[in-house]
Chains A and B, each alone.
Chain A
Amino acid sequence: MKNILGLLSIFLLLLSCNREDSIAPEPYDNPEIPLDIPAGFPSLNPAVEKNRPTKYGVELGEKLFHENKFSINNSISCASCHKRGSAFADNEVQAVGVYGRVSLRNTPPIQNLAFMKFYNWDGSKLRLENQPLVPIITHEEMNSSIVEVINKLAVDHVYRHLFMKAYGDDAITADRIYRSLAQYQYTLISANSKYDNVRRNEGETFTESEARGYQAFQTKCESCHSTELFTDQSFRNVGFPVNPSTEEAGRARVTGIPADLMSFRVPSLRNAEYTAPYGSFGQFSTLKAVLDYFDNGVLEADNLDPILKEQDNRIPMTEQEKQDIIAFIKTLSDEAFVGK
């Protein structure tokens, strides 16, 4: 009888419903990378806590960031528009994707994103992990699909090995791609400019022009370009020339709130020297052109920012002040960050 029961139980075990292998993941050594958070920076985006950068996650993310297989014809990667030498932006008026297709907007720089609450000029995304799918599928950008991307990566042994190191097995999943790309970008922190050096009393000092520029900046610019990120992360309509595309509505495209029409996220001014042209669709070729525009007067709008409305739709500046402000803005350039 004992034998029969034994036989039966073996039989029942064999008739298991779930055929998924429940082999425990291989133990793997992939330490977290501590984020070096600069003094005075705002708090991290809460998504970072759920996706802390790891040694191999970041390594994988960096490789993916430079991977042309993300585009339909293997011609462009994230790094094609987000070039390190331009603070991970580029110098096109509007971003250029596959087959030379031109996008709606100017490429935003990728720096200090771990501290941002909103992504894209209209703040459409609140978590960096949700962003990569957008360029992958957009007609004017990579024009591909995540399954296409996964299939291309899956035949590459190097990637299988990297996914194994980062996640413990070699499964290439959409989620892991998004998480790795975000991890890499979280590590792109820029806080080693001359301004930072001066502020931290590390030996450098402002020139007279830079010092005057900093003074002028504090009265003319800092209401919006505040905090150590040099943006208060608000959305404002500052009366810039309007994108003629019928697709553009600024922040209102996302929120549906009329008061957000043609409002855009205040850009960080860190590394602005490297990211010309300026404006949501590259309206201004130089920093001087931006300041001239503010000085001459901006476009009227019902929802024009109150700060501008109070000053007759302009920010008056003398030519000397403009020169000085630009000199100050250039102290925000982080040469090590852009690899110069």
Chain B
Amino acid sequence: MKTLTTYFALCIGLALFVSCNDKEDPVANSITLHFNNTFGDETIVLGDAISATATENTSAEGQIHHFSELKYVISNIRLIKADGGEFPYHINDLDKGATVVNHAKPQTLDYVLSNIPTGGYKQIKFGLGVKQDLNTLDEVRFPKFYSAAGENDTEMMWEWGAGYRFTKIEGFYDTDNKELSIHTGSTVEGEEGSYTQGVDAYRDIILDLNTNAVVGSTAPRIIIKADFDKLLSGKTNTITLTTGTGMGDNATPNIHTAAQMVTFVDNLGGDGTSDISGMFSIQSVED
């Protein structure tokens, strides 16, 4: 009987060793990404056509404009350690690693990255939009993100393209407050690297942190400025808005289409080659 008990204990001991999940690196803390949506240095206030409080901006071409709605999708977040190693944050899981920043909802301006390994981080990479392989409106796989994107007040689905909208900006321009409506999203078909048609509106953003974000004893906040002055007055394109149904008109009509969209995409998210930050910059890193 005694031997049997010993064997049993041995078995229990063994069972304890046979754990299903490998233990991850020691984890301690979180990093909060705060998105400060601005025109220049001024945080944007949204407003309708005749709003007296909405933040007004003037483009390089002298067009006054303001926004009534401002949303964009952030995904594919990667943190670069001080030693150069990369920590991907649920990059293949939109439910855990992607968010819709909605300027009208203050709680969406902070995105908390949890269970970040202790250490210093010198750089952050993220996507404006959704990588093509995940951009399939797969509600079965990512119900949480699908629901967040699809809420009536969000409308970040691009039905006919069967993908997500990456940015959605509504507003008004010129002194007579003509409508502006700028939606971006991918229309590509095929595999990444060999698209057979369409426009890839996903942009990878790379930002160096001015001071390392140190995770461990503190939970740092990285303030990311998204300067929407760049929408019309970007590093890549200087854009004049015009309203109409012609090929060059861009304020509302064709903006729902890919025809004029790329110029805005490049301004917001960079052209992917000479400009890898677009409208984004690091404002500060707070301990």
Contacts and interface: CB of A to CB of B under 8 A. Distances in A.
A304 to B, nearest CB: 12
Top 7 closest pairs, chain A to chain B, by CB:
A256-B258, A249-B257, A253-B257, A256-B199, A252-B259, A246-B253, A138-B159
Interface centre among B139, B256, B261, by most chain A C-beta atoms within 10 angstroms, is B139
Interface of B: 7, 10-11, 14-15, 18, 20, 137-140, 143, 146, 150, 157, 159-162, 181, 187, 189-190, 196-199, 245, 247, 252-254, 256-259, 261-262
A8 B11 contact: yes
A155 to B, nearest CB: 17
A23 interface: no
Nearest to B18: A15
B258 A255 contact: yes
Contacts of A7: 7, 11
Nearest to B254: A249
B245 A242 contact: yes
Contacts of A4: 7
A35 interface: no
Interface stretch (A119-127, A285-293, A326-334): A119-127
A256 B261 contact: yes
A124 B11 contact: no
A242 to B, nearest CB: 7
Interface string A224-263: 0000000000000000001010111100111111101100
A261 B11 CA distance: 72
Given A130-B162, A133-B137, A139-B159, A247 B196 contact: no
Given A134-B159, A255-B199, A173 B254 contact: no
A132 to B, nearest CB: 10
A256 B259 contact: yes
A126 B140 contact: no
A253 B14 contact: no
Given A12-B14, A125-B189, A252-B254, A302 B139 contact: no
Interface centre among A120, A134, A150, by most chain B C-beta atoms within 10 angstroms, is A134
A237 B266 CA distance: 28
A174 interface: yes
B153 to A, nearest CB: 14
Given A126-B196, A147-B140, A254-B198, A133 B259 contact: no
A134 B162 contact: yes
A126 B191 CA distance: 12
Contacts of B259: 249, 252-253, 256-258, 260-261
B159 A146 contact: no
Interface in A303-328: 303
Contacts of A303: 247
B139 A145 contact: yes
Interface centre among B20, B199, B257, by most chain A C-beta atoms within 10 angstroms, is B257
Interface in A1-58: 4, 7-8, 11-12, 15, 17
Given A255-B258, A256-B187, A256-B262, A126 B160 contact: no
14 contacts: A11-B11, A11-B15, A137-B157, A147-B139, A147-B140, A173-B140, A246-B256, A247-B256, A249-B254, A249-B257, A249-B258, A255-B199, A261-B247, A302-B247
B15 A15 contact: yes
Interface string A131-155: 0011001110000011100100000
Nearest to A146: B139
Interface string A173-184: 110000000000
Contacts of A130: 162
Contacts of B138: 174
Given A11-B11, A174-B140, A254 B20 contact: no
